[in-house]
């Protein structure tokens, strides 16, 4: 069903009526553009985007009897879509219902207007004949009564839910953060029902695995511990991130919680959350806790209780009816959750009862590997934000070449666009430091002729992106840089194309194809000998590109690591494609001009039924974007090492001249005046404040075409400096809002 964040299709409301030989169907979706309607003898299917919020709608109807799809009349308006469909059986008998399934469908209703006004419908024949008014009236009364009962139940549940949980529960919820969490959702974009489906699928796979390994098994229990808080120094915690497997099954964000699934059949299981007990002292220092009621309300597990009840419950369950010997225990544990207190206690109890558990990590990874439609939407958003933020940071390198500042710029741009945080510590490497694949120091100044390699991602709703771009800080590739970049770009394009055409159906095949392509291209470029044997060439390329072609992506950057790389892709799998080339400064196997160059291009790719979707295509990587730029002044192409930037425009160095002393500048020694003049640092220091006529310093403000000290630019009446530099001008004099003599003018900044 629908949620406010748009991660699921909304069930469209359908009205229907009938005559002897045809039926009326009305799909109630306003302003539906390009609807997709499929009508067969047995089924009616509709999909389209409409409504005030442009939400995807759908409906699917399996007819009570066959219809004639070749004879359909349609009326599509701004408010609805109407269809008149002939029945295939023309004996004139009325259907007892619209759908083959006798179940109650809240979204399918009788069209009262069509029934009352059937004499006026031009398409009708003998409309009154054989129309069963009594049965139809009884049906409508019964439908209306059921609708009122269901509506009353939903209103009561909603009222009780809001009354029961109007407080903050320690993490965003539909009550406390309606701008982030849609109604019925636990986390952004993911409904409670989807979390319940995940738990049911996981339980089913665990039960089947347990039965296959122990025929005497009649009970099963699964432990999924949450992550614990980690500290980087005494009393200084790391930013908390929930353990991904625990998050996948319930969406609960509290540290040291434990989700336990238990049951005695595949069809029936129960879920319980063990959470921290609420404490005024703890909440004073660390924030609000969900408590038992908050955890149950938010996640919709069967029940929730505090940590203190775990030992008693676990022992009683294992010892009930002497079933300890026939109980299979599974756990889903990672390094983040191994220290969970409830989990450690469970291991002690199980050991005392001679119960030895098994890992269910591979089972849950197989579920996480294939993304649902809601997960795909979150990953699209994460990749879109990451791509746009990286593109903006690439433009910013014209003004800043400090690696650490670029890290901060990327973090800022991600958060401005709605990301929660960086997905991992970013790699921002200039020049030869790009050959360190996981370079995290980010403490150098990037030289003017260097390449920048940035590997970065962001997190949205728990799901992450992972994107890498390499570009020249000057805006122009040198010849060796251009050769390698063209080679790498072509390789990545061929890999993505091979996956789209299903020639490469596993990560293993894509890796071998990458090694083959790099070998051929490097030999063609003269960077690898063509006299090497196949194994020698493979080893040589492995030194140049020592990492894999990619990895799975999802809740984790290196997602579902237990899923083998030789498993064929399926629809809904997200991977990265990231070939790289690395020639360290001390590499003697290549000509000197190629030494010290490192580069990588990485995109996130969704496998679809029609091919692939490149999720990170909003950040340019094309060779067309990297061709030689034109000078903003003379309009001629800029050759290698000739580029400089002035007023956010690229130009030849010779065009950057001090307007006072006429000295040629190198692009880094300049100051900008508001009238567009360029001054060298020496001439800039000679400028004086318009008011006090003393030399200017960092406290400079531009106003009215002149330069002032901040404290010297004041209101002409009261003499006070302007708050936030907001001022009004009258007769070439500045005024504050309070003393401005003419109130109708607009403020200047």
Average pLDDT, the chain: 84
How far from 745 is each of 705, 715, 748, CA to CA, in Å? Answer: 19, 16, 9
Q: Which of 485, 114, 143, 165 is nearest to 298 (CA)?
A: 165
Query: Which residue segments constitute the domains of the chain, with CATH numbers given?
Result: 10-131 (2.60.40.790), 185-369 (3.40.350.10), 376-626 (3.90.230.10), 688-749 (2.10.110.10)
φ and ψ of 667, to 5 deg: 100, -20
- Residue 160: pLDDT band (50, 70, 90) is very low
> Region 728-740: what's the mean pLDDT?
79
Q: Which of 463, 448, 363 is nearest to 418 (CA)?
A: 463
Residue 230: per-residue pLDDT: 93
Q: Please check the confidence at residue 669 and state whether its pLDDT lies above 70.
A: no
Summarize pLDDT for 611-634 with one digit per residue, the tens.
999 999 999 997 655 455 666 666
Summarize pLDDT for 319-333 with one digit per residue, the tens.
876 656 678 899 999
Q: Please check the confidence at residue 43 and state whether its pLDDT lies above 60.
A: yes
**Pair 80, 29: CB distance under 8 Å:** yes
Residue 619: per-residue pLDDT: 93
SS3 assignment, position 274: strand
| 8-state DSSP, 191 | E
Residue 120: per-residue pLDDT: 42
Q: In what order do the strands lie in the sheet with 603-608?
A: 574-577, 603-608, 611-614
Tokens of 240: 């908390």
In the chain, % of residues over pLDDT 70: 81
Across 50-54, 155-159, 213-217, least confident range: 155-159
Summarize pLDDT for 671-696 with one digit per residue, the tens.
554 455 676 766 766 777 877 878 77
Q: Where is pLDDT greater, at 50 or 389?
A: 389
State the residue for tokens 């009594």. Answer: 134
Summarize pLDDT for 377-406 with one digit per residue, the tens.
999 999 999 999 999 999 998 888 899 999
> Region 562-590: what's the mean pLDDT?
95
Residue 736: per-residue pLDDT: 81
Q: Where is pLDDT greater, at 230 or 747?
A: 230
Summarize pLDDT for 100-125 with one digit per residue, the tens.
877 667 788 887 676 544 444 444 44
Summarize pLDDT for 261-319 with one digit per residue, the tens.
999 888 889 999 999 999 999 999 989 999 999 999 999 999 999 999 999 999 888 88
Across 72-86, 191-205, 678-692, least confident range: 678-692
Q: Please check the confidence at residue 371 and state whether its pLDDT lies above 50.
A: yes
Q: Please check the confidence at residue 702 and state whether its pLDDT lies above 80.
A: no
Measured CA to CA, the distance from residue 629 to residue 188 in angstroms comes to 42
Residue 117: per-residue pLDDT: 40
Output the CA torsion 529→531→532→533 (10° steps): 150
State pTM to two decimals: 0.67
Q: Please check the confidence at residue 127 and state whether its pLDDT lies above 70.
A: no
Q: Where is pLDDT greater, at 124 or 595?
A: 595
Alpha helices in 226-340 (DSSP H): 244-250, 280-286, 291-299, 310-319
Residue 75: per-residue pLDDT: 81
**Pair 49, 35: CB distance under 8 Å:** no
Q: Please check the confidence at residue 640 and state whether its pLDDT lies above 90.
A: no
């Amino acid at each position: 069903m629908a949620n406010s964040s748009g991660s699921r299709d909304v069930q469209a409301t359908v009205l229907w009526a009938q005559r002897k030989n045809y039926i009326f169907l009305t799909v109630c979706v306003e302003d539906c553009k390009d609807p997709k309607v499929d009508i067969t003898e047995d089924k009616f299917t509709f999909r389209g985007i409409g409504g005030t919020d442009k939400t995807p709608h759908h409906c699917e109807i399996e007819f009570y009897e066959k219809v004639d799809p070749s004879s359909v009349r349609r009326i599509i308006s701004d408010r609805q879509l109407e269809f008149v469909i002939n029945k295939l059986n023309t004996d004139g008998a009325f259907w007892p219902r619209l759908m083959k399934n006798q179940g109650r469908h809240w979204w399918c209703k009788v069209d009262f207007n069509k029934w009352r006004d059937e004499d006026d419908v031009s398409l009708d024949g003998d409309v009154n004949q054989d129309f069963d008014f009594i049965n139809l009236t009884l049906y409508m009364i019964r439908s209306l009564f059921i609708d009122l009962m269901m509506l009353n139940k939903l209103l009561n549940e909603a009222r009780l839910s809001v009354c029961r949980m109007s407080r903050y529960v320690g993490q965003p919820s539909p009550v406390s953060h309606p701008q982030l969490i849609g109604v019925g959702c636990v986390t952004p974009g993911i409904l409670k029902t989807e979390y319940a489906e995940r738990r049911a699928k996981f339980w089913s796979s665990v039960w089947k695995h347990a039965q296959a390994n122990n025929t005497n098994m009649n009970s099963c229990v699964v432990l999924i511990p949450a992550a614990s808080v980690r500290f980087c120094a005494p009393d200084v915690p790391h930013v908390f991130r929930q353990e991904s497997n625990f998050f996948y099954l319930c969406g609960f964000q509290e540290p040291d919680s434990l989700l336990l699934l238990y049951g005695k059949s595949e069809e029936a299981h129960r879920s319980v959350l063990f959470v921290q007990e609420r404490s005024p002292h703890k909440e004073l220092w660390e924030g609000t806790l969900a408590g038992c009621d908050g955890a149950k309300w938010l996640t919709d597990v069967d029940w929730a209780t505090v940590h203190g009840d775990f030992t008693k419950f676990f022992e009683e369950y294992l010892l009930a009816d002497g079933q300890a010997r026939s109980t299979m225990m599974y756990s889903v544990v990672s390094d983040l959750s191994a220290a969970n207190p409830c989990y450690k206690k469970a291991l002690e109890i199980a050991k005392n009862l001679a119960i030895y558990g098994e890992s269910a990590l591979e089972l849950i990874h197989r579920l996480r590997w294939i993304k649902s439609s809601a997960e795909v939407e979150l990953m699209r958003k994460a990749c879109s934000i990451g791509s746009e933020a990286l593109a903006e940071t690439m433009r910013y390198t014209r003004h800043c070449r400090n690696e650490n500042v670029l890290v901060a710029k990327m973090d800022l741009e991600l958060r401005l666009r709605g990301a929660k945080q960086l997905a991992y510590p970013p790699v921002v490497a200039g020049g030869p430091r790009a050959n360190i694949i996981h370079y995290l120091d980010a403490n150098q100044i990037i030289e003017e002729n260097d390449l920048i390699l940035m590997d970065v991602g962001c997190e949205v709703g728990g799901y992450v992106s992972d994107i890498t771009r390499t570009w020249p800080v000057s805006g122009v590739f040198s010849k060796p840089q251009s050769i390698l970049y063209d080679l790498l770009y072509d390789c990545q394009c061929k890999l993505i194309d091979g996956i789209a055409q299903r020639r490469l159906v596993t990560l293993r095949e894509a890796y071998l194809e990458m090694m083959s392509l790099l070998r051929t291209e490097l030999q063609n470029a003269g960077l690898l000998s063509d006299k090497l044997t196949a194994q020698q060439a493979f080893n040589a390329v492995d030194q140049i590109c020592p990492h894999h072609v990619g990895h799975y992506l999802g809740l984790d950057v290196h997602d579902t690591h237990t899923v083998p790389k030789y498993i064929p892709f399926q629809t809904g799998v997200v991977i990265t494609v990231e070939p790289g080339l690395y020639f360290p400064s001390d590499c003697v196997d290549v000509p000197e001009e190629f030494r010290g160059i490192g580069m990588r291009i990485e995109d996130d790719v969704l496998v679809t039924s029609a091919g692939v979707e490149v999720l990170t295509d909003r950040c340019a990587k094309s060779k067309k974007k990297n061709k030689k730029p034109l000078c903003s002044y003379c309009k001629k192409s800029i050759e290698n090492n000739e580029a400089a930037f002035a007023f956010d425009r690229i130009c030849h160095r010779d065009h950057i001249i001090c307007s006072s002393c006429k000295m040629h500048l190198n692009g880094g020694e300049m100051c900008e005046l508001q009238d567009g003049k360029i001054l060298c640092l020496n001439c800039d220091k000679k400028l004086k404040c318009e008011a006090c006529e003393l030399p200017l310093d960092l406290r400079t403000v531009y106003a009215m075409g002149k330069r002032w000290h901040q404290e010297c630019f004041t209101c002409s009446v009261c003499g006070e400096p302007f708050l936030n530099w907001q001022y009004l001008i009258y007769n070439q004099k500045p005024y504050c809002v309070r003393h401005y003599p003419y109130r109708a003018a607009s403020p200047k900044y």
